[in-house]
Structure 1
């Protein structure tokens, strides 16, 4: 990916198109999210921070807390680290870091929210 981010984006886009063309019951959203993270890394490597931020925002908004599993959280953290390491002042970098932080924060609170909902429902 680091050697040819444009090619990585191309391969990722092809894979994402295949995921999206699958029948809903056969679609693997977890794997699709991981591939989209690779695509975002390619956008960052090319300096397309606004596109990367938009894509990450879409992933974050479409991923319920219970599906924010550790491997996905790690990819999102890698995206934020990569963005910070390129240019902290570029447009979109702050958004990328903010979305990643919120994504992690929501995942960290996931079990607590579930417990609170269960205890509220039991009263």
Structure 2
């Protein structure tokens, strides 16, 4: 039996078990099952709520095809001293075609980012013309 099979067979997974299931989904060679990852994050958030779990859940929901629902999950979310929340918001707003709001969110993320590679990435994303 595969590691994923063993993980899935356990009854009532705990926090670390859920994290392992999420990691196993990401590690599969097949396309990522974003709806499953979103479901696992929802369960993890139910058991151990935290801003980062909610943010990761929002990313999974967006990747599963619902950037609108992901933005709703982020309403009222506070992640202090991190560029991650405004960066994710910027990406979602870009996907939704709300480019002026996205630019503001990228600017906010740029004020908080701490590493040069991440800063360069945010600057590239902010400068990328809208697709479609």
TMscore range, shorter length = 0.3 to 0.5
Q: Which has the higher helix share?
A: 1
